[in-house]
Structure 1
């Protein structure tokens, strides 16, 4: 199928040493042929069979792959409906995968790379982050959880490794780079007041992600999980070089709650927002184009109770003037709706009181409100 913990137990010095060893060889140690010409001879220097970077990837694969599983989705008669990927999260047998992998399953069977099979059950799932936790009894001997990294440390251009089961081909590794950051995935769930919720800070990679890879880990060269592979952008249903991975910091927030309660509790403001361009700024008579322009408010929501003002929308004219423009939350700049969504998903809690700075009628004012829970 394809279409938010415990601290990493790796020593930071060891992690850096692994990364340095692999990265330092990319330019210097890649296979190469060097011709040496003279008037008498012409010889070719052949690179060694295995370069240092290849050795590093082989070691990473051998260390991590035992904890990457193939997930079979079964119907009531135990026929296979589809497959996905997942990876071991802890020593208690919890396995992380995608919500869309396990949705609608009557049963689940997990297969480890050595062929060992386990029945699994869904412990918790969250449609808005597309994350789910399944559980098996008794990990196979020698299988260790994969440590989690920090998606705030990711940079465009760094290497990324995807391991999973594309088209049912178990234990497939693909190598690419981080192609982009700050992408957005839209939830399958309709939000209160219409529209859909979204997950910000999604990772874009060109590491091959195909049907069956969903739920598998995206790793850095230290073998730490930096994302959970979730979707591809394609017109054919196969890899197009544009894949998306749920950031591991969303995993760190969502998964413990799924294990403990089966659900994750998102904070909720109760507004619909739109970004602005220069033309909209001029048409709406605003002093700036950056920010999150409020177009609709859910009745009875924290935004409604705090007195925020929405612009409304006209099918002929479009966005109307008169709405509040949110430009900061708790002192953090809001340059677009994604900034406010990121704050809510990664930094805020239900029942927390926050302060929005808005522009209304040309003046900046602060509006406090207490977050509710997303329903």
Structure 2
């Protein structure tokens, strides 16, 4: 439809262009009229605490004393009614720790009405909260599943109550899909990026297509100034509709977990390890007892595809498994040395099985044996691998290796005994590039170094 409208604007006579513009205008008006009554203003009161050191006087002497003060602060956001019984979706960060929640609705004539509401469920991973209006309705609502098929370039409307003003619509396009955004120490994945203006107070409001269907819930912006700079982000409807039934039913949100982490395979890293391709990711860590471990996946395997889609980074794999449920089956294609393998396995539960795996702790190390080596200004001793015992400041490996690193393989050659210590480093050249498979602070990783 958009292509036809564009062609009409460029190639048709004035009357046809006017008609195309009129149709586009009607689409905007229709979407706004449909969505407006279902979009609400969210006003919250939060209880804050602050510890202040103030002087107290005892027997004529001043002594510092800590005093705890409690006070109320106000917050603003937006939301959208997704069930006729009065259930409202918004962002968790809008209502978190709120002691009072008020919602303001607006009917088709622009008449506002205020309601009290309470938070009934949340999904921190998606920054979502579900509110319930203190009335059974029925309320005007928007179907979440209808607009799940968003595409880059789609025309969209962002709806909300920015800065506490009246209900406001802004327009733009979907700029990108599967965007990532770090927010206050957390990283949100699989977001829709849009250039429709989103400002303070828009959080929790819907992002709509021109049919008035929800394609996402506006959640954040990226800006050097704190005000909109052309980059807004929304949680996609395709992700929300997976968890909404659980939120409505009061069930905990469960997500799938595989139990591996990956590193992207750089070209010279692949060459030094004797691997055939860089269009893949190398398995860096396999959690003990995880679904991946039980399926026989090993550290150093190349992960080529997951359910037929190519995997090149840890993020690629996360995007494939995050929305899946525990017990869902996935198919992985791996390469182990020259052998290609297909593995089918069932996912575990993120947040439960991964904690069990972590509590298992590291496996016991072998006792220290004899074996010492100096290489490129670094001192090694055999201790269940090549343990770094010293490092010259002039070494080309300074800044890469650290004292206490335990190298388990060099360019794919394992260090399994004192005899292997010299063999592993024989022929290794920093000019050509060296790949260390090492343990650092209990974490396994690959370290690639090339220095001429």
Q: Under a length normalisation based on structure 1, what TM-score does the superposition of the two structures give?
A: 0.75
Residue matched to 2:25 = 54
Higher RCO, 1 or 2 (CA under 8 Å, sep at least 6)? 1
Q: Which has the higher strand share?
A: 2
Is 1:299 the counterpart of 2:270? The answer is: no
Residue matched to 2:341 = 365
SS in 2 for 1:229: strand
| Distance in 2 of aligned mates of 1:242 and 1:338 | 21
The answer to whether the Cα contact below 8 Å between 2:87 and 2:131 also exists between their aligned partners in 1 is: yes
Cα RMSD for the two superposed structures:
3.0
| Distance in 2 of aligned mates of 1:106 and 1:309 | 49
The answer to whether the Cα contact below 8 Å between 2:84 and 2:137 also exists between their aligned partners in 1 is: no
Is 1:71 the counterpart of 2:42? The answer is: yes
Q: Which residue of the other structure, out of 95, 101, 104, is the alignment partner of 1:102? A: 95
Structure 1: where are the runs of 5+ without partners?
A: 1-19, 35-46, 190-195, 311-322
Q: How does 1:181-220 map to 2 (within 5 A)?
A: 181-185=177-181, 198-200=188-190, 202-220=191-209
The answer to whether the Cα contact below 8 Å between 1:86 and 1:164 also exists between their aligned partners in 2 is: yes
C-alpha deviation, 1:305, in angstroms: 3.0
Q: CA 1:169–1:281 in structure 2 vs 1: closer, same or farther (change >3 Å)?
A: farther
Q: Which residue of the other structure, out of 131, 135, 156, is the alignment partner of 1:134? A: 131
- Deviations 1:259-294, CA, capped at 9 Å, x for gaps: 213431001112222334434433544322223332
The answer to whether the Cα contact below 8 Å between 2:178 and 2:189 also exists between their aligned partners in 1 is: no
Residue matched to 1:87 = 80
- Deviations 1:93-141, CA, capped at 9 Å, x for gaps: 1111112222222221111133311121112111112222111133667
| Distance in 2 of aligned mates of 1:188 and 1:351 | 32
C-alpha deviation, 1:334, in angstroms: 2.8
Task: Indicate the structure (1 or 2) with the bigger Cα radius of gyration.
Answer: 2
SS in 2 for 1:207: coil
Q: CA 1:297–1:88 in structure 2 vs 1: closer, same or farther (change >3 Å)?
A: same
| Distance in 2 of aligned mates of 1:56 and 1:302 | 48
Q: How many residues align?
A: 318
C-alpha deviation, 1:25, in angstroms: 5.2
Is 1:224 the counterpart of 2:195? The answer is: no
Q: CA 1:239–1:68 in structure 2 vs 1: closer, same or farther (change >3 Å)?
A: same
| Distance in 2 of aligned mates of 1:188 and 1:151 | 29
Q: CA 1:261–1:294 in structure 2 vs 1: closer, same or farther (change >3 Å)?
A: farther
Is 1:174 the counterpart of 2:170? The answer is: yes
Structure 2: where are the runs of 5+ without partners?
A: 48-69, 352-452
SS in 1 for 2:125: coil
Is 1:125 the counterpart of 2:134? The answer is: no
| Distance in 2 of aligned mates of 1:132 and 1:282 | 48
| Distance in 1 of aligned mates of 2:32 and 2:207 | 12
Residue matched to 1:164 = 160
Q: Which residue of the other structure, out of 305, 312, 321, is the alignment partner of 1:328? A: 305
Q: CA 1:240–1:279 in structure 2 vs 1: closer, same or farther (change >3 Å)?
A: farther
Q: CA 1:66–1:82 in structure 2 vs 1: closer, same or farther (change >3 Å)?
A: same
SS in 2 for 1:153: coil
Which sits farther off after the overlay, 125-134 or 151-160?
151-160
Q: Which residue of the other structure, out of 297, 316, 329, is the alignment partner of 1:339? A: 316
Q: CA 1:161–1:325 in structure 2 vs 1: closer, same or farther (change >3 Å)?
A: same
Q: Under a length normalisation based on structure 2, what TM-score does the superposition of the two structures give?
A: 0.63
| Distance in 2 of aligned mates of 1:64 and 1:152 | 16
| Distance in 2 of aligned mates of 1:25 and 1:367 | 48
